[in-house]
Amino acid sequence: MIKYEHLCGKEFDLQEQNCYHLLRALFKDNWGIELSDIPCPVDFNERKMDLYAQLAHSEGFEVLHCHPRDYRAGDVFLMAINSPIGNHVGVLLEDGQMVHHLYSQLSGKTAYGGLFRNTTLGVYRHRDVTQDPADVERVDFRTLLSPTMRRKLEEIERSHTDNAETPSST
């Protein structure tokens, strides 16, 4: 589980506590990944300095080219909030929400949708953030079915087993 609670509720400060600072702290605390301390020019937005996209690869991030169902906890959303360039990041959590620190707000957890999804320019994954298959909880899908559907599935399985055991006449 990604540890993020200690990063929530912080005041926004462009130079000291912004979405990139949250990203840096989250990656260090959870994966031991040290992202560069990149100074943020006050006028980066006005000057259209697309810092996130320019520096992503050198910091170990690759753009994902996959369906949203394949996103994993730890993936990073790059968004353009009221801007033509990527000026905000959020990190996907296990529950499908993201943790981020939006300009002039407290850092926190929120649903990834609406404004955030609509302004996403790209989704990135760090090369050193891996998901060990042993960490993935396996669930027998039959336990998710209603009792009626489970009985129907068992009947189908029995009929296939019975048909396989019965020699065919040729």
What does the H/E/C string look like for the chain? CCCCHHHCCCCCECCCECHHHHHHHHHHHHHCCCCCCCCCCCCCCCCCCCHHHHHCHHHCEEECCCCHHHCCCCCEEEECCCCCCCCEEEEECCCCEEEECCCCCCCEEEECCHHHHHCEEEEEEECCCCCCHHHCCCCCHHHHCCHHHHHHHHHHHHHHHHHHHCCCCC
Domain that holds residue 157: 140-165
User: Is the overall model pTM greater than 0.95, yes or no?
Assistant: no
What pLDDT score does 154 carry? 86
Domain annotation covers residue 117: yes
**Are 90 and 39 contained in the same domain?**
yes
pLDDT tens string 45-61:
676 667 777 788 989 99
**Are 31 and 92 contained in the same domain?**
yes
**Are 94 and 145 contained in the same domain?**
no
**Are 159 and 108 contained in the same domain?**
no
Domain annotation covers residue 170: no
pLDDT tens string 75-100:
999 999 888 888 899 999 999 999 99
**Are 26 and 81 contained in the same domain?**
yes
Domain annotation covers residue 147: yes
CATH of the domain at 54: 3.90.1720.10
**Are 113 and 97 contained in the same domain?**
yes
When pLDDT is cut at 50, 70 and 90, the band that residue 150 belongs to is confident
For the chain, the domain total comes to: 2
The mean of the pLDDT values for the chain is: 84
